[in-house]
Structure 1
Amino acid sequence: MTELLDRRLRDGAKTMGVTLNDTQVMQLLNYIQLFNKWNKTYNLSAIRDIESQVDRHLLDSLSVVPYIDADTIIDVGTGGGLPGIPLAIVFPQKKFTLLDSAGKKMRFLFQVKTELKLDNVQIENRRVETFEPEHPFDAVISRAFASLKDMTDGCRHLLAEGGVFYAMKGLYPTDELSALEKNYKVSDSYPLHIPREDGERHLLVLTP
């Protein structure tokens, strides 16, 4: 099974233009195996089989790798660590903060951080509106927010001067963009193609 997952991950990442070394592949597979194990008790995801978790969690998270320029990044509403943990594995030189208010998911993330020795990951069990970082971040990333307006309104205080929002969305969010405050603009938009996944994916880069 591990060999099949290894090939599924490597081939999928290569299709998206993401190169993984052996250490990163091992860490990513260890993470998704932990995710699959804890999911049975902690309900981290509705996706139960590990092959689909590789595609819809690991590869979906890694699809944004070519577009991430920021050095300090906060993943808001990280849940089971998506996309923050996969990105932290691929970018060991960048610093990631994973923020979520669900305590049981935090216990899982601390286990992941410890087992995978992810020194570039900080975990915060807080609500976004009450979290005041010591230093603002170069970027806010999320797959979790219902709307772009919620994301920009709720997370603006986390962003450093010149920082960006990385919004991972499904269909291109035309209606959500029309609801944004006028002082936000889409500086870049990238269609994302996930192997074996038919639905549309987009990464929007928003700047204040």
Structure 2
Amino acid sequence: MNDTALPADVAPRLHAGLLALGLEADALSPRLLAYLALLHRWNGTYNLTAVRDPGEMVTRHLLDSLAMHAFVCDGTLADLGTGPGLPGIPLAIAHPALRVTLVESNGKKARFLREAVRQLGLDNARVAESRAEALAEPAAYDALTARALDTLSGIIEVGGHLLKPGGTLLAMKAVRLDEEIAALPAGWSVDAVHPLQVPGLVGERHLVVVRKPVA
């Protein structure tokens, strides 16, 4: 599958958005467009995402996922409840040295993820078809991410065991939620709350960086 199945305005929209995020648009666009084309095709049959328009997918899926790229370090990352691979697949494309585990319990979404990883040649990504709380990989990851999975404490409850001591949860939130921050489990602390600028997106986005206690 290639990007010829996408409307003509999608590629320039993605290119401009990547440049606005400070990313290498020429290098990243081909794989991101191939992923988008595959997602768009599968979505017609498997209903992987409620966003149907490819142009909106560029903004609400690809660019929204990549808005956090500057705060992602090389190492290991588990993307909890990744759905069709968001933000895990765009981050794996943008960070070749990042080893990403796409955690998804839904069978049809996991099948799509495996096909996307294969077709895109993403050697730095793997699929774990599992609920986060059932994934038996304790302290295996430098970072976790969750795009719209749960409250901060809820994410930690189901996936905190996957983080190494001192590792970070990178939680994407529509708005800053001080109540969620106040409800963090004992020992967990907020390193920072970064406002994110997503090209073309109306509304707030924040990245909450939460650190797991060392002991």
Counterpart-to-counterpart distance in 2, 1:7 and 1:139 = 32
The DSSP-based 3-state class of the residue aligned with 1:171 is: coil
Q: 1:2 to 1:26 in 2, by over 3 A?
A: farther
Cα root mean square deviation, aligned: 1.4
* Superposed displacement of residue 3, structure 1: 4.9
Normalised to the residue count of structure 1, the TM-score between the two structures is 0.95
Amino acid at match of 1:11: A
Residue 194 of structure 2 corresponds to residue 178 of structure 1: no
* Superposed displacement of residue 98, structure 1: 0.3
Residue 78 of structure 2 corresponds to residue 74 of structure 1: yes
> Which of 50, 54, 65 is the equivalent residue of 1:50?
54
Counterpart of 2:25 in structure 1 is 20
Q: Which runs of 4+ in 1 moved over 3 A?
A: none
Counterpart-to-counterpart distance in 2, 1:66 and 1:170 = 18
Amino acid at match of 2:71: Y
Counterpart of 2:199 in structure 1 is 195
Residue 103 of structure 2 corresponds to residue 99 of structure 1: yes
Unaligned runs of 5+ in 1: none
Q: Which moved more, 1:26-35 or 1:146-155?
A: 146-155
> Is the Cα contact below 8 Å between 1:70 and 1:139 reproduced in 2?
no
The DSSP-based 3-state class of the residue aligned with 2:25 is: coil
Residue 118 of structure 2 corresponds to residue 114 of structure 1: yes
Amino acid at match of 1:92: P
Counterpart of 2:43 in structure 1 is 39
The DSSP-based 3-state class of the residue aligned with 1:106 is: helix
* Superposed displacement of residue 42, structure 1: 1.1
Aligned residues: 207
* Superposed displacement of residue 18, structure 1: 2.3
The DSSP-based 3-state class of the residue aligned with 1:132 is: coil
Counterpart-to-counterpart distance in 2, 1:50 and 1:21 = 19
Counterpart-to-counterpart distance in 1, 2:100 and 2:7 = 27
Unaligned runs of 5+ in 2: 1-5
Counterpart-to-counterpart distance in 2, 1:80 and 1:43 = 10
* Superposed displacement of residue 70, structure 1: 4.3
> Is the Cα contact below 8 Å between 1:61 and 1:82 reproduced in 2?
yes
